[in-house]
Amino acid sequence: MAHNYAIDDDVRHLRQGPQGRAGIQQPSVYTIITCLPIEADGRPRYRIKSKTENVERVVTEDQISRLG
């Protein structure tokens, strides 16, 4: 499986609440800054940076979606 997003793509990330419980927060807009190695189960990973906060996260592809 290949990465479906590229560096500098803007994506939405729905943050989870404490201990994985779904939060009621709105999805945040992030920019992909690095494509990381694919996990053993085949899920591509990315390092993303928030457009509004000084926050970076590592996420799997199933945790983000395209804008629009």
**Three-state DSSP class for residue 26:** coil
Number of folded domains that form the chain: 1
In a domain, 4, yes or no: no
According to DSSP, the β-strands at 45-50 and 56-60 are antiparallel
- Position 19 scores a pLDDT of 60
In a domain, 3, yes or no: no
- Quote the CA–CA distance of 3 and 66 in Å, as a whole number: 13
- Position 2 scores a pLDDT of 87
- Position 14 scores a pLDDT of 76
The model's pTM:
0.81
**Which pLDDT band, with edges at 50, 70 and 90, does 65 fall under?**
very high
| Domain range enclosing 52 | 10-66
CA distances in angstroms from 46 to 25, 49, 55, 64, listed in the order given: 21, 10, 14, 10
In a domain, 60, yes or no: yes
Strand segments, DSSP code E, in 1-68 are 10-13, 28-36, 45-50, 56-60, 64-66
> pLDDT by residue (tens digit) across 13-61?
976 666 666 555 677 899 999 999 999 999 999 999 999 989 999 999 9
In a domain, 2, yes or no: no
